[in-house]
Amino acid sequence: MSVTSKRILVTGGAGFLGSHLCERLLNEGNDVLCVDNYFTGRRTNVAHLLDNPRFEIMRHDVTFPLYVEVDEIYNLACPASPIHYQHDPVQTTKTSVHGAINMLGLAKRLRAKILQASTSEVYGDPHVHPQTEDYWGNVNPIGFRSCYDEGKRCAETLFFDYHRQHKLKIKVARIFNTYGPRMHPQDGRVVSNFIMQALAGEPITIYGEGNQTRSFCFVSDLIDGLIRLMNTPDDFTGPVNLGNPVEMTIRELAENIIALTGSKSELIFEPLPHDDPTQRKPDITLARAKLGWEPDVPLKHGLEATIAYFARLRDEIASGAIADPRILREGAR
């Protein structure tokens, strides 16, 4: 073991982002404890890590206290797609708020550094474009998305209060749309939705007229940003935006995916969901200055890797090698 290796806890470690983070931290020679309650995370995401003697996995819900010994904590636990976080909105808020309290309490006891995976959703449907970290946001506190948006905003409040009151070493990352292999095929996010529909030759569902914009960051770039943030000097807390500043419309994304898959899918249009943001684009000036970070995986290359992953997944489902991932909890469809 390297003398510089650390014992690192990753909550939500069997999820999309968490599994990639666990893998990267192990590759850097650290001991990694992956904690997940498998609400949206999947054991298959970390199956390839189970034989690594430096990797440990624990089934646990962060809304309950956790007693372990670690040097650093990455708090990623929370369902992050609308279809999942709206399935049980009360539990989503509890995961963000009680989970933050429990992980901050653990960090306080251990005097450990802790990173909060916050979200661009703290900006709501923004009146400022692109979004900078000093923008306070435009969030509906009583809407269908509020369990996630306000839960994450409250978690940020808790992190900064623990920092001011208890001198805790904190880092806060505001994560913008991220995509890549290991996304859940039925998570309701635009990239996974479009790819699965295109691969099946089904119509691609666009909400509204498809003019709303998003900025898509490939998962390896995002993980690099999280680790760089964790390794900054203790006096830098963030929040810091992590995302790709290249903006595109939802319709343009659909057309790109159709072209890359060679699909015959047509576009169909449905009403825009309530409180769906019309614009999303991070200003990453702070990340460039403080982390020396910006994404470098082109959208075409990232989509090709993601399409290949979902194509393999479809083949494995068709062959019976794995269970159909669409068999989710009743109501979480």
Residue 77 per-residue DSSP state: -
Q: Is 38 a catalytic residue?
A: no
Residue type, 148: Y
242 close to 174: Cβ distance less than 8 angstroms: yes
Radius of gyration in angstroms for the set of CA atoms belonging to the chain, rounded to a whole number: 19
**Whole-number Å distance between alpha carbons of 14 and 43:** 6
**Whole-number Å distance between alpha carbons of 173 and 290:** 12
131 close to 282: Cβ distance less than 8 angstroms: yes
Angle 53-58-60 from CA coordinates, rounded to 5°: 165
**b/e per residue 202-217 (b: at least 16 CB within 10 A):** eebebeeebebbbbbb
- Looking at 148, 162, 207, 309, which residue is catalytic? 148
**b/e per residue 114-146 (b: at least 16 CB within 10 A):** bbbbbbbbbbbbbeeebbebebebebeeeebbb
**Whole-number Å distance between alpha carbons of 38 and 150:** 23
CA of 66: how far to CAs of 16, 46, 90, in Å?
Answer: 22, 21, 21
Question: Active-site positions?
Answer: 148
